[in-house]
């Protein structure tokens, strides 16, 4: 049976499922409850300078009937007295010595860093996480993402911390930056023990149509929030990959954060090299109980593939993430419709006709509603298979025989790339496109009978 325990940069935990520094880790009560529920670690809600929070703090992006596909907040770091937090931390670490109880910190001056590090070490913290991410409020005071966005400042602070700390240090990065490797390098150069990412993405989740103010509305006004939840996972995965493929950063352990909710999310993060994961929104949405699903799913995955520990497959997808120019231009897939599964919604038809390559035909009048692929026109873009509401109904079938392999890079080296306006070697040359005027004839079916 799989062994889920980890040693993350010297921080040991019974499993890689940690709660991210956020409201679910606001108190000792919550963290103990989470450990009881099965979480392996928790990064305490960021401690630091005293704050005051507003009321009306969260907003969400709902998609159809899915609540909180994206989630946004304008909350600051912990507004509870440091003393209370430390007392509770001491109790948690005493009762759960084998769990990864990590203190997230955000202060300003070197002296403050030195002092607070000492205090959390005394309280038994297994590690420290540096919050350089908060993109609202704290950054206006020169902390949080103001640091995360300035690699020079970040490096200096991490150096202070590394000087002062005797327990492992995780530097938490902000995604609000063009190249995540810049702050990543700064952290590594300052000798951080590990990195975690992402913190929240600067965002406005929506505008209230009555007050004309952004959500969450605070007495008629709003401010940019930090976006997280399922919607940000793709951004986070990409940044994780950037770090894990960077020659100087890749050996630094990364705790993956952003939109993690299910075992699949967890596996994807590990495949791109994360060796612990942190969760906030999913726990805020469903409570601590969701960890049951993550754990059961991860175990099943590992048992089926014969992995003993997560290190057996950590980073396994990295070699397959490459640059566009190394993709095989000779590879060819075409859509195929399984007529037994098709329900006849014709969404694939209209998607391809209006949004892709006019490669799907409707049946003749009176011949039902199952469309067909016009293979000559299909460029294999996948769109139809993505819009099809029936799982596995449209599949993309490989058409080339696999014998040829030619990339843009190889073609460039062979001086065989299109490089003039009307170059015959361009991809779309000779590809069928209907005459523009046909659009006017193919108007929506005659509705005059109604």
Ligand X SMILES: Cc1cc2nc3c(=O)[nH]c(=O)nc-3n(C[C@H](O)[C@H](O)[C@H](O)COP(=O)(O)O)c2cc1C
Binding site for ligand X (CB under 6 A): 20-23, 45-46, 71, 73, 75, 77, 104, 131, 133-134, 172, 199-200, 228-229, 232, 257-260, 279-282
Among 349, 373, 377, 394, binds other proteins (CB under 8 A): 349
What, of ligand SF4, other proteins, ligand X, none, does residue 64 touch, CB below 5 to 8 Å by kind?
A: other proteins
Q: Does 390 bind other proteins (CB under 8 A)?
A: yes
What, of ligand X, ligand SF4, other proteins, none, does residue 158 touch, CB below 5 to 8 Å by kind?
A: none
Nearest to 374 by CA among 320, 433, 325: 433
Separation between Cα atoms, residue 29 and residue 18, nearest integer Å: 16
What, of ligand SF4, other proteins, ligand X, none, does residue 82 touch, CB below 5 to 8 Å by kind?
A: none
Report the DSSP pairing between strands 254-257 and 394-398. unpaired
Give whichever of 230 and 371 is closer to ligand X, judged by the CB atom.
230
| Region of residue 362 (phi > 0: left; psi between -120 and 50: alpha; otherwise: beta) | beta
Q: How many residues make contact with ligand SF4 (CB under 6 A)?
A: 29
Q: Does 383 bind ligand SF4 (CB under 6 A)?
A: yes
**For 193-346, where are the alpha helices, taking DSSP H only?**
233-244, 263-271, 281-286, 291-305
DSSP code, position 320: G
Q: Which two tokens stand for residue 411?
A: 């073609």
CA geometry: angle 417, 419, 423, nearest 5 deg: 90
What, of ligand SF4, ligand X, other proteins, none, does residue 350 touch, CB below 5 to 8 Å by kind?
A: other proteins
Q: Which two tokens stand for residue 168?
A: 């492992």
Separation between Cα atoms, residue 313 and residue 347, nearest integer Å: 38
Q: Does 350 bind other proteins (CB under 8 A)?
A: yes
Buried b / exposed e along 33-71 (16+ C-beta atoms within 10 A): ebbeebbbbbbbbbbbbebeeeeeebbbbeeeeeebebb
Q: Residue by residue, what is the 3-state secondary structure of 258-293?
A: CCCCCHHHHHHHHHCCEEEEEECHHHHHHCHHHHHH
The answer to whether the CB of 275 falls within 8 A of the CB of 6 is yes
Beta strands in 107-190 (DSSP E): 127-131, 169-172
Q: Does 343 bind other proteins (CB under 8 A)?
A: yes
Query: What DSSP element (H or E) covers 183?
Result: helix 181-189
- The residues annotated with a catalytic role in the active site are 134
- Contacts of other proteins in 220-259 (CB under 8 A): none
What, of ligand SF4, other proteins, ligand X, none, does residue 335 touch, CB below 5 to 8 Å by kind?
A: ligand SF4
Q: Which two tokens stand for residue 104?
A: 């997230």
Separation between Cα atoms, residue 294 and residue 316, nearest integer Å: 20
Among 117, 134, 290, 388, binds ligand SF4 (CB under 6 A): 388
Give whichever of 72 and 385 is closer to ligand SF4, judged by the CB atom.
385
Nearest to 147 by CA among 159, 134, 137, 161: 134
* Region from 13-21, 287-295, 323-331, 346-354 binding other proteins, contact rule CB under 8 A: 346-354
Separation between Cα atoms, residue 273 and residue 234, nearest integer Å: 15
Among 235, 350, 362, 381, binds ligand SF4 (CB under 6 A): 381
Give whichever of 22 and 348 is closer to ligand SF4, judged by the CB atom.
348
Classified as helix, coil or strand, 146 is helix
Query: What DSSP element (H or E) covers 385?
Result: helix 383-387
Give whichever of 152 and 343 is closer to other proteins, judged by the CB atom.
343
Give whichever of 61 and 131 is closer to ligand X, judged by the CB atom.
131
Give whichever of 24 and 371 is closer to ligand X, judged by the CB atom.
24
x/- mask, ligand SF4, residues 329-368, rule CB under 6 A, reads: ------x-x----xxxxxxx--xx---xx-xx--------
What is the residue whose two structure tokens read 């159809």?
64
Q: Does 379 bind ligand SF4 (CB under 6 A)?
A: yes
Give whichever of 143 and 249 is closer to ligand X, judged by the CB atom.
143
Give whichever of 74 and 352 is closer to ligand X, judged by the CB atom.
74
* Region from 71-79, 255-263, 310-318, 375-383 binding ligand SF4, contact rule CB under 6 A: 375-383
Shortest distance, CB of residue 410 to other proteins, whole angstroms? 41
What, of ligand SF4, other proteins, ligand X, none, does residue 356 touch, CB below 5 to 8 Å by kind?
A: ligand SF4
Residues in contact with other proteins by the rule CB under 8 A: 64-65, 341-347, 349-350, 369, 389-390, 444-445, 447, 449-450
Residues in contact with ligand SF4 by the rule CB under 6 A: 335, 337, 342-348, 351-352, 356-357, 359-360, 371, 373, 378-384, 387-388, 390, 393-394
């Amino acid at each position: 049976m799989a062994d889920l325990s980890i040693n993350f940069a010297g921080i040991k935990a019974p499993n890689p499922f940690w709660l991210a520094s956020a409201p679910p880790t606001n108190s000792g009560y919550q963290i103990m409850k989470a450990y009881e529920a099965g979480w392996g670690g928790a990064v305490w809600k960021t401690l630091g300078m005293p704050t005051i929070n507003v009321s009306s703090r969260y907003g969400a992006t709902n998609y159809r009937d899915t609540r909180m596909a994206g989630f946004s907040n304008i909350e600051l770091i912990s507004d509870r007295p440091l003393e209370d937090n430390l007392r509770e931390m001491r109790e948690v670490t005493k009762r759960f010595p084998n769990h990864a109880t990590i203190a997230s910190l955000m202060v300003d001056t070197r002296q403050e860093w030195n002092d607070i590090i000492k205090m959390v070490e005394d309280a038994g913290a297994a590690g420290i996480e540096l919050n350089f991410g908060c993109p609202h409020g704290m950054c206006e005071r020169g902390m949080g993402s103001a640091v995360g966005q300035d690699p020079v400042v970040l490096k200096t602070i991490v150096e202070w911390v590394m000087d002062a700390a005797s327990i492992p240090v995780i530097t938490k990065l902000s995604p609000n930056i063009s190249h995540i490797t810049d702050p990543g390098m700064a952290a590594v150069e300052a000798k951080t023990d590990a990195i975690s990412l992402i913190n929240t993405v600067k965002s406005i989740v929506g505008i209230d149509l009555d007050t004309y103010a952004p959500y969450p509305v605070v007495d008629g006004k709003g401010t940019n929030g930090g976006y997280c939840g399922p919607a940000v996972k793709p951004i986070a995965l990409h940044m994780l990959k950037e770090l894990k493929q960077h020659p100087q950063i890749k050996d630094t352990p990364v705790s993956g954060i952003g939109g993690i909710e299910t075992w699949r999310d967890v596996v994807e993060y590990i495949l791109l090299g994360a060796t612990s994961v942190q969760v906030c929104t999913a726990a805020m949405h469903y409570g601590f109980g969701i960890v049951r699903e993550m754990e059961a799913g991860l175990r099943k995955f590992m048992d089926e593939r014969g992995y003993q520990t997560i290190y057996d497959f950590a980073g396994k997808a990295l070699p397959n993430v490459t640059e566009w120019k190394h993709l095989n231009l000779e590879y060819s897939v075409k859509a195929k419709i399984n007529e037994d599964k098709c329900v006849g919604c014709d969404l694939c038809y209209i998607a391809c006709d209006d949004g892709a390559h006019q490669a799907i035909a409707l049946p003749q009048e009176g011949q039902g509603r199952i469309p067909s692929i016009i293979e000559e026109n299909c460029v294999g873009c996948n769109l139809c298979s993505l819009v099809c509401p029936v799982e596995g109904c449209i599949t993309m079938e490989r058409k080339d025989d696999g014998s040829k392999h030619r990339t843009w890079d190889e073609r460039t080296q062979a001086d065989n790339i299109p490089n003039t306006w009307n170059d015959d070697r361009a991809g779309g040359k000779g590809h069928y496109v209907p005459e523009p005027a046909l659009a006017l004839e193919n108007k929506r079916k005659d509705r005059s009978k109604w």
